[in-house]
Each structure stands twice: as structure tokens, then as C-alpha cells.
Amino acid sequence: MTDHDALFDEAHRLTRMLVHVGEEAKADFAAAVAPFNIPVGVARAILLLDAPAPMRELAGRLVCDQSYITGIADKLEERGLVMRVPGEDRRIKLLALTSAGTELRDRIAGAVAQQAMVMLRLTDAERAQLGPLLTRLLDSVPPESRGTR
């Protein structure tokens, strides 16, 4: 095996491990959120609603289509967790948590933080090492090379 092959093999092995850890983390999130009886996507949205946000913006942050946000907003509204409030530009609707929504949001945030923390398996020193590596992996994406995804 050439050095070149060995490099790719090692990179591939690391990638598989990283993807695996990522999937575990997502499963942990789902488990943490399950007791609240809301779908994972809805939970993700509620956690982002720190402040009222246009639906369009939420779509951007959740990396999904706008039409999908309509469904999430419907579910949140049904449960009385959110209100659609018109923005200045009256095409825009802001999703604003109700008091029940804020309360649930805090409880979910707590549950997600407490349980399910894959990261807590590492020592402080290890986490301090990991942070910069992940930053490098995220930052060094040449934006123009990413195509349409």
C-alpha cells in the first residue's frame, strides 16, 4: 500500500468514526426529547426560538425548506407553544414562544444538557483538544467548492 492509500484509509477511518459519534449524539438528543412527546424537528425549532424569529430565518437555521417550517409552526401552534405574529413587512410572520412555550423550551434545554451528553465522556483536557479540531474541520470549507446542497 502506498503512502497515498494509507492517508486515504486513515482519513476514511476517522470519518466513519466521526459520523458514528455524530449519530450517537443525535440519538441521544432524540432520547432526551422523547419524554416531551414532540417530534425531534419541533424540539429543534423550539430550542432556536430564543427570540421571535421569521419563519424564513428558521428554515435557514434548520437547513430545510420553508414549507417544512409551516408544518412545524402548525404543530407548535396546536400545542399553544408559539404564536404567529405579523412582522413590519406584513409578508413576514414571526414565531414567538408563548409563556407555555418558553417554559417547555427551558425544560427541553435542561433535558438535552443533562442526559445524552456524549461529550461528557471526555475529560476537560480532551474537550479542549477537540474544540479546535472541529473548528478547523468546519472553517476550512472553501465556500465556493461546496456546490448546491
Residues within the interface to DNA (CB under 7 A): 39-41, 54-56, 59, 63-71, 73-74, 84, 87, 89-94
Please identify, using beta-carbon distances, which residue of 70 and 114 lies nearer to DNA.
70
We find the least distance from the C-beta atom of residue 67 to DNA, in angstroms, to be 3
Between CA 51 and CA 33 the distance in angstroms is: 21
How far CA 25 is from CA of 33, 34, 74, 116, in Å, comes to: 12, 14, 27, 7
CA nearest neighbour of 130 among 10, 6, 26, 22: 22
Please count the other Cβ atoms lying within 10 Å of the Cβ belonging to residue 129.
11
Q: What share of the chain is helix, strand, coil (3-state, %, to 5)?
A: 70, 10, 25
Footprint (CB under 8 A) of a second copy, residues 104-133: 112-114, 117-122, 126-127, 129-131, 133
Pick from 1, 90, 141, 143: which binds a second copy (CB under 8 A)? Answer: 141
Q: Of these partners, DNA, a second copy, none, which one is at the site of residue 66 (CB under 5 to 8 Å by kind)? A: DNA
**Is residue 10 involved in binding a second copy (CB under 8 A)?**
yes
Please identify, using beta-carbon distances, which residue of 55 and 111 lies nearer to DNA.
55
- Residue by residue, DSSP assigns 57-77 as HHHHHHTS-HHHHHHHHHHHH
Please identify, using beta-carbon distances, which residue of 91 and 136 lies nearer to DNA.
91
**Is residue 74 involved in binding a second copy (CB under 8 A)?**
no
**Is residue 14 involved in binding a second copy (CB under 8 A)?**
yes
